[in-house]
Chains A and B, each alone.
Chain A
Amino acid sequence: MESQIAKTENRSREEGKVYLKPNYELRKEDNAYIVDVHMPGVPREKVNITLNGDMLAIEAPRIPYRHSDWKPLHTEIRGDDYRLDLQLNVEIETESVSAKSDLGILTVRLPLAAKAAQRTIPVE
């Protein structure tokens, strides 16, 4: 597990690329976690989601919205590509991970693996 983390960090340094970590929010359902990642302006086909062991990586390029002849008067929005790396603390049903994108929010659904999922145990 340690080697996986190191590998990811090394790759980023080699490329010398600076990413912007998007804002995100977590929600919990009965047997799944939901991650809402704020990626305004990113089309869904440009988003790359990988789950490698317990590392969830979400990467997406920034799409320029500015015309070349617009002169900046005041800027706050950073133009770096997005990257979010989350090391998960729970076991996920990898095959059932799903994602959708709407209004600039990417929603990733991470269903818990059967052994981590909440179960109701009937009393006989």
Chain B
Amino acid sequence: MTLLKRDYRFGDSFNGMDRFFDRSFWDSDFWPGTPSGFPAGNVAERFPVDIYGDDESYFLVAELPGVKKEDVDLKLENAVLTIKAKRLRGEGDNAQEFSMTRSITIGDDINADEVMAKLDSGILTVTLPKVEERKPKSISIS
């Protein structure tokens, strides 16, 4: 016997379509009729990312629920930030490890020495300051 009879998605007419495109091939949601259960093996999952900017910096926000900060690896190479993360699914002996990777092109004007990151309750925020000479400057008219 399964736990669920039905799993409602009311009030959210776009959800089904969004999820169809968002979910990876391995996600059980992709396959109708399969319980929301274990994808086979140690597969990569995609996670959503937002990128913002102001005059001083770029800000990247990623949702990484279940990930501990020691399990996140950030690498900045040229204009591309690569985020690698892993998390355990389940507890104890039955826990399975999942790896997730995303590479995001941010910009080539980042001061790599000043990049900072924090992870709080599954939300990763990376602050990527722009290099000094590329920040907007106001020009006074003489």
Interface residue ranges, A against B (CB under 8 Å): 5, 8-9, 12-13, 17-21, 23-28, 33, 35-36, 38-43, 54, 65-67, 69-78, 80, 83, 85-90, 103-105, 110
Structural contact, B7 and A86, CB atoms closer than 8 A? yes
Q: How far is the CB of A106 from chain B (nearest CB, A)?
A: 9
Structural contact, A89 and B59, CB atoms closer than 8 A? no
Q: List 24 A-B contacts (CB under 8 A).
A: A26-B4, A33-B3, A39-B65, A40-B64, A40-B122, A41-B120, A65-B123, A66-B50, A69-B54, A70-B53, A72-B50, A74-B49, A76-B49, A77-B48, A77-B61, A86-B3, A86-B6, A87-B4, A87-B6, A88-B4, A89-B4, A104-B122, A105-B122, A110-B3
Q: How far is the CB of B29 from chain A (nearest CB, A)?
A: 8
Q: How far is the CB of B55 from chain A (nearest CB, A)?
A: 9
Chain A CB within 8 A of B67 CB: yes
Q: How far is the CB of A77 from chain B (nearest CB, A)?
A: 5
> Binary interface profile of B, 86-101, with partner A (CB < 8 Å = 1, else 0)?
0101110010000000
Q: Given A24-B36, A40-B121, A104-B123, check contact A85 B65 (CB 8 Å).
A: no
Q: How far is the CB of B59 from chain A (nearest CB, A)?
A: 6
Interface residue ranges, B against A (CB under 8 Å): 1-12, 15, 18-19, 35-37, 48-54, 58-59, 61, 63-68, 87, 89-91, 94, 120-123, 125
Structural contact, B122 and A38, CB atoms closer than 8 A? yes
Q: Which of B35, B64, B90, B121 is within 8 Å of A42, CB to CB?
A: B121
Q: How far is the CB of B103 from chain A (nearest CB, A)?
A: 13
Q: Given A66-B61, A104-B121, check contact A87 B11 (CB 8 Å).
A: no
Q: Which of A12, A25, A76, A110 is within 8 Å of B10, CB to CB?
A: A12
Which residues of B lie under 8 Å from residue A42 when comparing CB positions? 121
Q: Complex formed: what's the CA distance from A24 to B37 in Å?
A: 9
Q: Specify the chain A residue showing the minimal Cβ separation from B7.
A: A86
Which residues of B lie under 8 Å from residue A20 when comparing CB positions? 12, 15
Structural contact, B49 and A103, CB atoms closer than 8 A? no
Q: Which of A9, A40, A89, A104 is within 8 Å of B2, CB to CB?
A: A89
Which residues of B lie under 8 Å from residue A27 when comparing CB positions? 90-91, 94
Structural contact, A89 and B3, CB atoms closer than 8 A? yes
